[in-house]
């Protein structure tokens, strides 16, 4: 679960980088080098887009880094513990059902 959260964070970070690059491309197409060269009425939407992109990039980097690190560590510990317990890939979980006088008895190994 933490690894999936980390991957989602990486996606959010990528979205923030894309949003910033889209604003840069739009300004470059208009021939504007700096945001201060833009008409003051048009500066606010671009400033908000840059702020949103910065927030997405930073939060995605933190969530992605922590999630992937924690998820990877937990997966590694889980695999180590499974090996110590003698788990082998050929020993899979099994479920058995047997009829009884009162119904069905279900048992298994997990």
Structure tokens given for 98: 């047997």
Using an 8 Å Cβ cutoff, are 60 and 12 in contact?
A: yes
The C-alpha atoms of residue 47 and residue 44 are separated, in whole angstroms, by 5
pLDDT at residue 40 greater than cutoff 90: no
Has this prediction a pTM greater than 0.85? no
Residue 36: how many other CB atoms lie within 10 Å:
8
Identify the pLDDT of residue 74: 92
Q: Tell me, rounded to whole angstroms, the distance of Cα 75 from its chain centroid.
A: 16
Using an 8 Å Cβ cutoff, are 1 and 71 in contact?
A: yes
pLDDT at residue 11 greater than cutoff 90: yes
Beta bridge partners of 103: 100
């Amino acid at each position: 679960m933490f690894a999936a959260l980390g991957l989602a964070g990486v996606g959010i970070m990528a979205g923030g980088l894309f949003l910033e690059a889209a604003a840069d491309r739009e300004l470059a197409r208009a021939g504007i080098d700096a945001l201060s060269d833009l008409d003051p009425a048009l500066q606010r939407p671009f400033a908000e887009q840059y702020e949103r992109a910065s927030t997405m990039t930073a939060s995605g980097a933190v969530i992605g880094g922590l999630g992937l690190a924690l998820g990877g560590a937990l997966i590694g510990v889980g695999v180590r513990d499974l090996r110590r317990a003698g788990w082998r890939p050929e020993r899979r979980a099994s479920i058995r059902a047997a009829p009884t006088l009162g119904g069905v008895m279900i048992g298994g190994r997990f």
